Chains A and B, each alone.
Chain A
Amino acid sequence: GNSVTQMEGPVTLSEEAFLTINCTYTATGYPSLFWYVQYPGEGLQLLLKATKADDKGSNKGFEATYRKETTSFHLEKGSVQVSDSAVYFCALGGRGSTLGRLYFGRGTQLTVWP
């Protein structure tokens, strides 16, 4: 079946540090992959996505590359800011009989200190 495993948090970094949040997936076929972010007191919003192998999604300085060979979609940012403090969710879009569903990881809480 479909599932997503992401790095357990919380992650605490100083401003301008490098960020990696690991995400691996299990799926049949070639799912779309997403990173969603939930800022304090706000709803989930899409951060970036990739729809096929070797695609790189990017937004707001964050990047993730769809790696079929390692079934991974790790989130990276070269220099985090205090405003990046949020919960990050990796997600997979179902196919076939599970079309329409998003399968989410458990979320990783990121706190960035000035």
Chain B
Amino acid sequence: GAGVSQSPSNKVTEKGKDVELRCDPISGHTALYWYRQSLGQGLEFLIYFQGNSAPDKSGLPSDRFSAERTGGSVSTLTIQRTQQEDSAVYLCASSLAGSRDEQFFGPGTRLTVL
């Protein structure tokens, strides 16, 4: 079956612009996660959606970052007023439920802020 897909694969933007990153999880997976992979910080958790529960947003680095998940499926990560330190690979993952289950990762979106 299809894996986790993310779009765009690459995004170059100017400082101060807003960007939207999209994630399509594996069909039937109720849990969805966003992570950020950067040279300086490694792999960092950003946000976790589980079913209809309120998302765990505690990993979002600032109020410029937000995410939503529509219809329990597709998710969008939005970064407002981008800064150069936002440059990273943004990874989306999904799983059946809970942290004991394997998280399946998408290929990532490489964001470059000039």
Contact = CB atoms under 8 A, between A and B. Distances in A.
Contacts of B106: 43
Interface string A38-73: 000011111001010000000000000000000000
Given A43-B107, A105-B42, A100 B102 contact: no
Contact of A43 (B45, B59, B105): B105
Given A43-B91, A43-B107, A95-B99, A100 B43 contact: no
Interface of A: 31-32, 34, 36, 42-46, 49, 51, 89, 93-95, 99-107
Is chain B's binding surface mostly helix, strand, loop or mixed? Answer: strand
A102 B42 contact: no
Contacts of A49: 102
Contacts of A101: 33, 45, 48, 56, 59, 99
A14 B16 CA distance: 47
Interface of B: 4, 31, 33, 35, 42-43, 45, 48, 50, 56, 59, 91, 93, 98-100, 102-108
Contacts of A36: 105
A70 B76 CA distance: 40
A45 B99 contact: no
Contact of A100 (B4, B48, B104, B108): B48
B48 to A, nearest CB: 4
A45 B108 CA distance: 12
Q: Which of B50, B100, B108 has the most CB of A within 10 A?
A: B100
Contact of B100 (A32, A46, A106): A32
Contacts of A44: 91, 93, 105
Contacts of B108: 43
Nearest to B103: A102
Given A101-B99, A106-B42, 6 more contacts: A45-B104, A46-B102, A49-B102, A100-B33, A102-B103, A107-B42
Nearest to B108: A43
B2 to A, nearest CB: 13
B42 A32 contact: no
Contacts of A105: 42
